Amino acid sequence: MTTFDIIYQNIIKKIMTEGIEELNQRTGHKTRSLPGVTFQIDIEKDGFPLLTLRKNPIKSPIAEQIWFISGSKRPDEFLQKFTKMWNAFIESDGTLAAAYGWRWRHHFGRDQLGSLILLLENDPSSRHGVVITWDPKDDGYGGSPKKNIPCPYTFTINIIGGRLNLHNIIRSNDMMLGCPFDTLGFALLLCILAQRLGVRPGIYTHSISNAHVYDNHYAGAEELLKRTNNNQKIELHLPKNTFERAEKLDEALVGEIFTDLSSQYNPNEPIGGLEIAL
């Protein structure tokens, strides 16, 4: 099993054995939940965190992260060619109210992601590389009605010892569906930013305020806990100029990254019945 498989399986086991079961009023589902769950993956040592204990989508999180980097808030621009998962959250004007990339590059009156790159080019030792997705004047607290608000709501980038590290903070993570998807996407972002800044990929840290398994995923979680395999670590090989090509929404880029990862991907069988709890 890969390092990520072992870490992930242990977290699911802890949630299923120690998690507190409560009713989530928004979804009408019960969940088993734990607070303050954090894990780390060293991209160079442990490999790229792509879950192999069950078959997971690869192309859609790749396309999503490229779309984020571009700063778009319209899924019909590029994203819908690869995945329809955001369609349920589209507002009447065709946009996502809390599109992550738009928040990173436009929403607060500054290009946070572009400024981050300039900052670390000029001062690799800086500890000011914070990108915010959550808008406190508009998100949460039962405020403005909209179809989605950010789950991963901030991340920090720093360079230590010539390696770029990303600390991703998530207010709420559906562990059977959301966590593997988010981990792949933001680890990819780490690698893309490391390439853009000419440094090595470092440690990806994933911190969750509320880590939960929904009741309609309990059987799937129990099945996952029985599984093992002999898979070795996966190594990501990015095409040249990935960040610049992502900014331009280069469709070929999705296929190139997908081909690299899928050629190394030998997962266990899918686990059925994992429907999104909306």
Q: What is the CATH number for 72?
A: 3.30.572.10
Q: What is the pLDDT of residues 75-85, one digit of tens each?
A: 999 999 999 98
Q: What is the pLDDT of residues 203-252, one digit of tens each?
A: 999 999 999 999 999 999 999 999 999 999 999 999 999 999 999 999 99
In a domain, 91, yes or no: yes
Which structural domain, as residue segments, surrounds residue 206?
A: 43-210+236-262
In a domain, 144, yes or no: yes
* 151 classed as catalytic: yes
In a domain, 23, yes or no: no
Three-state secondary structure call for residue 209 = strand
Q: Which of 15, 50, 51, 151 is catalytic?
A: 151
64 contact partners, CB below 8 Å, separation of at least 6: 79, 82, 83, 185
Q: What mean pLDDT do residues 96-111 have?
A: 95
pTM comes to: 0.96
User: Which pLDDT score, from 0 to 100, does residue 142 have?
Assistant: 73
Among 167, 160, 157, 105, smallest CA distance to 133 is for: 105
In a domain, 5, yes or no: no
More confident residue, 200 or 277: 200
Number of domains in the chain: 1
End-to-end CA distance of the chain: 32
